[in-house]
Amino acid sequence: MTVSAHTPLLELNHICLSFDYIETLSDINLTMNEHEVVALVGDNGAGKSTLLKTIVGVYTPDTGSICLRGENVSIPNIKAASDYGIAAIFQDLSFCNNLDIAANIFLGQEKTSPFTIRNDSYMHVKAREILSRLTSPLSAFRSMEGLSTGEKQTVAIARAMLNNPDIILMDEPTASLSVIQTAQVLSYIKELRNQGKSILLVCHNLPDVFAVADRIAIMRHGKIVAIHHTQETTYEQIIAEIAGARQVNNEFINTESISVSHKLIDRYN
Ligand SMILES: Nc1ncnc2c1ncn2[C@@H]1O[C@H](COP(=O)(O)OP(=O)(O)OP(=O)(O)O)[C@@H](O)[C@H]1O
């Protein structure tokens, strides 16, 4: 297939996945382009994390296909995803607190010299390079012990950058961060987009979503129910779609539960 300027970097076509006969992902269609941040929003249990895990091969879709630059690919596991240039940062960040930042960036992918001696100097140079690409002031020599949650998130992003992926999937990277730490992580996301990366961002916090996303995809009950360009939508519309409302005469009428919609509007106001 010829790759044109319009061929999406990543394309999910009719992805379906069930757990114990319960459909968790239902006919998911989504594209991502280079230089793009796509936010995936939805209430708890909508299927956002499951979708990220399906893209990187933790789960195999029952039906549907994944295309990279127009080519159908099979991604059986996270290693294969990495080989295809897709990295993921999940919510449960795991680190070795007794090691420094460089060693944690290389965790499981340590660079060795002849005689399998760990090549610490290479790992520090490379870790410094990745951190500076993110514009992070963290030193690769610092111990993980005592890092703040925001600094740990920075190390997780740096670790995802190790194999220079084209696509980075992030599951709630700003959850439980302070205002300043959140701003820092959002600035890294923008920086990665400027470098041409494509980012799929699961995020509950709508101000964060509106701050960085180019497009917003709304998931409800395992389906993508709408996709908007960020500049062409509003908080109210996104909240209404998360809750399952529909617009009648410029008002959002909740077809599923009026109280869910009000609760969400209260949460974000
Ligand atoms: N391995 C699994 N086995 C069975 N059910 C699962 C599995 N993983 C997820 N589910 C179910 O799939 C549904 C979607 O879960 P998922 O974690 O993807 O939602 P989410 O939108 O990411 O929610 P949250 O915002 O709470 O993380 C939930 O009902 C969940 O219980």
Q: What is the predicted pLDDT for the residue at 142?
A: 95
Domains of the chain as residue ranges with CATH: 10-91+165-243 (3.40.50.300)
182 with 190: CB under 8 angstroms?
no
| Spans of the chain below 70 pLDDT | 1-5, 114-116, 246-269
Supply φ then ψ for residue 65, to 5 degrees. Answer: -140, 160
In angstroms, what is the C-alpha Rg of the chain? 19
* pLDDT computed for residue 258 by the predictor: 47
CA distance to 12, 96, 121, 163, 180, per residue, from 113 (Å): 40, 22, 10, 18, 39
Measured on CA atoms in the order 132, 134, 140, 146, is the torsion positive or negative?
positive
CA of 18 to the centre of ligand 1 (A): 11
Residue 262, pLDDT score = 54
> Cα dihedral angle (184, 186, 190, 193), rounded to 10 degrees?
120
Residue of the CA atom closest to atom 12 of ligand 1 = 24
Q: Is ipTM > 0.90 here?
A: yes
- Ligand 1 pocket list (CB less than 6 A): 19, 24, 42, 44-50
Per-residue confidence (pLDDT) for residue 253, from 0 to 100: 58
* % of residues, the chain, pLDDT over 90: 74
Per-residue pLDDT tens over the stretch 210-232? 999 999 999 999 999 999 999 99
The pLDDT value recorded for residue 3 is 63
Among 202, 147, 210, 146, residue whose Cα is nearest residue 173: 202
pLDDT, position 93: 81
Q: What are phi and psi of 109, to 5 degrees?
A: -130, 35
Q: Ligand 1, residues 20, 23, 50: which to mutate, most atoms within 8 A of Cβ?
A: 50
What is the dihedral angle through the alpha carbons of 18, 24, 27, 28, rounded to the nearest 10 degrees?
-130
The predicted-structure confidence for 14-50, as pLDDT tens digits, reads as follows 999 999 989 999 999 999 999 999 999 999 999 999 9
pLDDT score of 120: 79
Q: Which of 104, 82, 83 is nearest to 159 (CA)?
A: 104
Q: 149-161 vs 120-133: helix axis angle to the nearest 10?
A: 110
Which is nearest to 50 in space by CA: 41, 42, 59? Answer: 59
Atom of ligand 1 nearest to the CA of 19: 4
Q: How far apart are CA 61 and CA 55, in angstroms?
A: 9
- d(CA 257, CA 264) in angstroms, rounded, equals 11
